Amino acid sequence: MPELPEVESARQVVEAGGLHREIADVDDTDTYECRPHQPGDLRTALVGRSLTAAHRQGKSMWCDTSGDGPALGIHLGMSGRIVITSPEGERVVGGDYEGTPKVPRVAKDEWYRFTLTFADGGTLRLLDKRRLGRVRLDPDLSALGPDAEHVGREEFRERVGKGTAPLKARLLDQSVVAGIGNLLADEVLWRAKLDPRRPAGELRTSELDELRRQLRAGIRHAVKHGGVHTGEVIPHRASGEHCPRCGAPMVRATVGGRTTWWCSQEQGTL
DNA sequence: CCATATGTTAAAAG
DNA sequence: ACTTTTAACATATG
């Protein structure tokens, strides 16, 4: 689930409750989640330090550490959430799946893939049911494009409006613009009334500007209301559903390698 | 058993 | 050489 809005939520949770607490122990024994590190690598690097700041670019987040230590990179993958507990055991969850009824309220212990135990007795854990998330030291973010929430108009035009790949594939490419996932892409394309299948390079400048406008609006809405699931068209990504604006049938196909839904009338310009 | 899933990326194809 | 597409990754669920 985690796309830019959820990762921002997770980042805020870490910023509010995970900083300046001494790290007393680290469980980095999940060798897939912590790839390519070996068990003990993260523990050795982090014990005795504390997190001092939480950053995000696109769907990647990382924390600075005290004493000039390495950055702690966290990627939530397809199902990651951050769970922080206070010394008294109170839980705060970041990047939660608002509106997804399938996620059980109580997680199984084995879904916790990485744990920082603080000297005060609390913890910061990565809860990742599908195990495609990642924790690593000094993550390489050089391949990421500018953050989707802050990319400028000129840069957006140049990066998104080129190539023969479908517009949606272009939006999902994290090296073009970072932070857009499958649901947010559908939401934003619907808001901008653009056909996801159109070759990105064929868009007019006015269409790219409107797309960026709706991208920012869609992100703001999702951050404010609790995740990409709160988007207007998201509940209508299902067979038999209709466009909440015009009532025309929603249609489905694979675009950019991902299941894609769009309004057959307003976005059917191909 | 089959299909699907909010992400990334290496490999293959063009 | 560069861009685009596909498959694989690990796991859960309907």
Express each pLDDT in A30-68 by its tens digit: 999 999 999 999 999 999 999 999 999 999 999 999 999
Per-residue pLDDT band at A108 (split at 50, 70, 90)? confident
Least confident stretch, A29-33, A70-74, A93-97: A93-97
Q: Is the dihedral of CA A175, A178, A181, A187 positive or negative?
A: negative
Protein-covered nucleotides of chain B (CB closer than 7 Å) are 4-9
The reported pLDDT for the residue numbered A95 is: 78
**How long is the CA A182 to C1' B6 vector, in angstroms?**
7
The CATH architecture assigned to A4-137 reads Alpha-Beta Barrel (3.20)
Give the angle subtended at the CA of A16 by the CAs of A52 and A6, to the nearest 5°: 105
The reported pLDDT for the residue numbered A97 is: 58
The reported pLDDT for the residue numbered A104 is: 54
- Closest nucleotide to A162 by C1' from CA: C3
CATH of A153-263, one of 2.60.40.2140, 1.10.8.50, 2.40.30.20, 3.10.20.340: 1.10.8.50
The reported pLDDT for the residue numbered A105 is: 57
**How long is the CA A130 to C1' C12 vector, in angstroms?**
7
Domain ranges of chain A: 4-137, 153-263
**How long is the CA A97 to C1' C11 vector, in angstroms?**
17
Tell me which protein residue sits closest to nucleotide C10, measuring alpha carbon to C1'. A131
- The model's pLDDT over A13-28, given as tens digits with 9 standing for 90+, comes to 999 999 999 999 999 9
- Closest nucleotide to A102 by C1' from CA: C13
b vs e for A30-60, b when ≥16 Cβ sit within 10 Å of the residue's Cβ?
beebbeebeeebbbebbeebbbeebebbbbb
Per-residue pLDDT band at A1 (split at 50, 70, 90)? low
Strands A250-255 and A112-118: unpaired
Tell me which protein residue sits closest to nucleotide C12, measuring alpha carbon to C1'. A130
